[in-house]
Amino acid sequence: MWRMHSGDRVLTAAEWALFRVGLDLLLMFVEDDLDNQEDTTETGATAFDRLTAEQKLVILADVATALREPAVPMPHHTAANEAAIAAVVYTLDDMLTEELESSSDPDSKYRSTVLRRHLLAVAAEQAWEELPRLKSKSRGRWAVLLESFGDLILWDDDHHQGDAFLDLPPKEARVRLLMAGITDEYFLDTPDEPGEKGLTRARQQLARLFDRVPPDDRGLYAGLLDNFTGVQVGPMTAEQVAEWAAHPWLEEIAQGSPVWDCSYARWAERLSGRLPGEAFELTAAVPGVAYDLPAGVRAEVLAGKWVIRSGDGSYWVDVIGNGWADAGVFNENISPVEFETEADAKAAYVQADRLYAERAARYRAAVKE
């Protein structure tokens, strides 16, 4: 629940459909910051932008939950949580600019009216008048609708005024805040640094709001590695993973980021049908055929068996995955691929290297689709 001018309520279906478009993109930027250990995402909402990436993720999750779930207690308005809402609206504004600019692109695949459709749906629900036509390119008219959408949710723009108060001497700042009807805590109340458990909780909240697969309590998303195309597929439910677990070209994986090469729905529709039915198998060397290894790769004897070794000293340990490891990490699960003869070792690597090149080409094509 959120306190708005129209009362204490949650977003309508049309309002949420618009809000989530901007939220989704903003979350992508924040997740990129987390992956890169940066805090570079800036939206123009200062009280939001000054937060760490971890704080941004948590406050976006909490605000979105309050805006969407009627049973959630209404939070107190703070500069940080109101700025988080403003940050989503500003992200929508950037997206609107891009949508309008691309509307004249000669290639239809770059043209979109998604945001304009959502804006018109909200406008119709609110009975706003003098609406632009769907394909209107008038930046000003669409900007007015988007600003009106922000005004539906935000009580005011006090979150912008933090620097004007916080840079003053404490006594003067308190007087001016009092005159403006703003409490000290409004600007000072920011989310604590969440830690890994807090980030996991936030991601679970957001996944439920978006009707997506949430991470487990370790913060990991389940998925598959498609060893034919090389794409990582996810996030996936345990049931979806189990359905494919026995396939010889697929490998169960897990990762901490919700960003994958390919969604399960897209992979199942476009790529799963390309998987070979049989596993990849190496064949023995053909007598009289010379097998030339790539530069920096050689065959040598280790513990009485022929193995493949790279110029940096690591050994070939995984045929399908093209895995390499140093001798110091060998164990019952990691060990060199062994062959009885030098010719078989070279023949095997040449076959596998061809697989790697073909897979790289398939990967490039798959991520472009």
Is 284 domain-assigned?
no
Q: pLDDT tens digit string along 117-146?
A: 999 999 999 999 999 999 999 999 999 999
Q: Is the pLDDT of residue 164 over 90?
A: no
pTM summary value: 0.77
Roughly how many angstroms between the first and final C-alpha of the chain, as a whole number?
40
Q: pLDDT tens digit string along 190-218?
A: 888 999 999 999 999 999 999 999 999 99
Q: In the chain, what percentage of residues exceed pLDDT 90?
A: 82
Count Cβ atoms within 10 A of the Cβ of residue 168 and give its class: 0-12 exposed, 13-18 middle, 19 or more buried.
middle
- Shared domain for 177 and 324, answered yes or no, is no
Domain of residue 342, residue span = 297-368
Residues β-bridged to residue 287: none
- Shared domain for 36 and 130, answered yes or no, is yes
DSSP letter for each residue of 337-363: --BSSHHHHHHHHHHHHHHHHHHHHHH
- Shared domain for 158 and 235, answered yes or no, is no
Count Cβ atoms within 10 A of the Cβ of residue 167 and give its class: 0-12 exposed, 13-18 middle, 19 or more buried.
exposed
Q: pLDDT tens digit string along 38-76?
A: 999 999 999 899 999 999 999 999 999 999 999 999 998
Is 286 domain-assigned?
no
Mean of all residue pLDDT scores within the chain: 91
Q: What is the pLDDT of residue 174?
A: 55
Residues β-bridged to residue 307: 300
Is 318 domain-assigned?
yes
- Shared domain for 183 and 81, answered yes or no, is yes
- Shared domain for 59 and 115, answered yes or no, is yes
Q: How far apart are CA 85 and CA 160, in angstroms?
A: 12
Q: Quickly state the pLDDT bin for 168 (edges 50, 70, 90).
A: very low
Q: How far apart are CA 206 and CA 235, in angstroms?
A: 13
Q: What is the pLDDT of residue 156?
A: 72
- Shared domain for 130 and 7, answered yes or no, is yes
Boundary (domain end) residue, out of 160, 188, 209: 209
Crossing angle of helices 114-126 and 139-153, in 10° steps, is: 60
